[in-house]
Chains A and B, each alone.
Chain A
Amino acid sequence: MNGDSCHAASPAQRRIVLVDLLDRVLAGGVIIAGDVTLSLAGVDLIRISLRALISSVGALESGRNRPEAIEQ
């Protein structure tokens, strides 16, 4: 266990973790749906976005996230 990873991230660091943010702003608290996106407010939206995310993750890993993956 790396103790450092347990310290709270500063707000600036926090925003870097896109997956954690998307957990919250997409899959998290379902709020009052707006007008325009009414039909997007259900599960489909999450599925669409995460599919895009997963398909893009390979590209991300070969870029700047690579050192972290190697670390373990």
Chain B
Amino acid sequence: MTPSSEAVWLYAVAGDDVADAANGLFGVDGEPVRTIRAAGLSAVVGSVALARFGEAALRRNLEDLEWLGDTARTHDAVIEAVAQTATIVPMRLATVYFDDARVHTMLNSHQDQLADMLRRLTGRTEWGVKAYAEAADPPQAAIANQRSTVDSNGGATGAAYLRRKRAQLAAREHRENLGHQQAQAVHQALSPLAYHHRCHPPQDPKLTGKSTAMVLNAAYLVDDDQGEAFTKTVVRLANALQGIDVELTGPWPPYSFAGIEGPDL
């Protein structure tokens, strides 16, 4: 049994026995990764210290970007390694149980849901597609600069400034509208190639480091035999469409398609 100073961190659930794949991996607390078998399923877990991964500690630690980044990457690395050998349902970060017995109970009570999800995920891969409205093109910037030179000589700087500001705002609005239209075109071209899709909220510009708005942040669950067609279509759209920058990410473990809604235990 797990001592009471420890809890059980859940990485993923597989249908097959993945003990061999888990063996030799180390998890978010540096602990050896192991498996718990029940209900024909295999939970990939590790014993973590409550001092670092209990509720109060998590609340504190999740505010620490470095901790969050390291933990998310380790969580992902374990999932990725096991996913090389078997279809898995990846767990959300910080899914923690009191002990092994609770994981057994969860596997038994969610057996049908998990088995059904594993069936839907088998032979499919998640791809991410993000798109940004394009930044201002150089000719417009050149025109704005030219005007400012003329106006500073001419004297009517206030009115000229407002005119220039209005033109800049209108141009930005135009670019964003175009970006949204093109994002819709991308999504409409890609979604028929996918078994399922899910749209994440656009990322904050402060996080993307881009000066222009994110207009698409979608995840697509794609049949593996359609993968090449899908990624080629993304590249083709990226090259063909004006007014939008398209980025492909992945392949990902199927994080965006592994939801069992609600905290029902």
CB < 8 Å: which of A7, A24, A68 contacts B256? A24
When A27-B201, A72-B135 are in contact, do A6 and B238 touch as well, CB less than 8 Å? yes
Are B255 and A24 interface neighbours, CB within 8 A?
yes
Whether A57 lies near B263 (C-beta < 8 A) is no
A-chain residues with CB within 8 Å of residue B96 when the two chains form the complex: 34-37
30 A-B pairs with C-beta separation under 8 A: A1-B245, A3-B238, A5-B248, A6-B246, A14-B252, A20-B128, A20-B249, A22-B72, A24-B219, A26-B92, A26-B93, A28-B219, A29-B259, A31-B92, A31-B258, A32-B265, A34-B94, A34-B96, A35-B265, A37-B55, A37-B58, A37-B96, A40-B55, A40-B62, A49-B62, A52-B65, A53-B65, A53-B68, A61-B209, A65-B209
B residues adjacent to A (C-beta < 8 A):
7, 10, 50, 53-55, 58-59, 62-65, 68-69, 72-73, 75-77, 80, 89-98, 102, 106, 110, 127-128, 130, 135, 198, 200-201, 203-204, 206-211, 217, 219, 231, 234-235, 238-239, 244-252, 254-265
Q: A3-B239, A35-B265, A69-B209 are in contact. List 5 more A-B contacts (CB 8 A).
A: A29-B255, A35-B102, A40-B58, A53-B68, A68-B209
Q: Given the known A-B contacts A6-B235, A25-B93, A27-B201, are A32 and B55 also in contact in the complex, defined by CB atoms under 8 Å? A: no
Provide the residues of chain B in CB contact with A32, threshold 8 Å: 91, 95, 106, 110, 260, 263-265
Q: Give the chain B neighbours of A26 by CB distance below 8 A.
A: 72, 92-93
Count of chain A to chain B residue pairs whose CB atoms are closer than 8 Å in the complex: 183
What is the bound-complex CA distance between A67 and B236, given in angstroms?
27
List the 10 shortest-distance A-B pairs measured between CB atoms, nearest first: A24-B255, A33-B263, A29-B258, A56-B65, A25-B93, A36-B96, A34-B96, A29-B259, A34-B95, A28-B255
Contact with B along A60-72 (1 / 0, CB 8 A): 0100010011001
CB distance from B178 to the nearest CB of A (A): 14
- Residues of the A chain whose Cβ atoms lie less than 8 Å from the Cβ of B97: 34-36
- Residues of A near B210 (CB, < 8 A) are 72
Contacts of B62 in A (CB 8 A): 40, 45, 48-49, 52
Chain B residues whose CB sits within 8 angstroms of the CB of A48 once the complex forms: 59, 62-63
Chain A positions 1-55 with a Cβ under 8 Å from a chain B Cβ? 1-3, 5-9, 11, 14-15, 17-42, 45, 48-54
In the complex, residue of chain A having the shortest beta-carbon distance to the beta carbon of B242: A1
A contacts with B: majority SS: helix
Give the complex CA separation of A70 and B246 in angstroms: 19
Residue of B nearest to A19 (CB): B207
Contact of A53 among B73, B127, B207 (CB under 8 A): B207
- Report whether A33 and B265 are in contact in the complex, using a CB–CB cutoff of 8 Å: yes
Take A6-B247, A20-B249, A37-B96 as given contacts and tell me if A25 and B255 are in contact as well, using a CB distance cutoff of 8 Å. Answer: yes
Contact indicator B92/A14 (Cβ below 8 Å): no
Residue pair A18, B72 in contact (C-beta under 8 Å): yes
Shortest Cβ distance from A3 into B: residue: B239
Q: How far is the CA of A19 from the CA of B68 in the complex (A)?
A: 11
Give the distance to chain B from A30, nearest Cβ to Cβ, in Å.
5
Which residues of chain B have C-beta atoms less than 8 A from A41's C-beta? 92, 94-95, 263
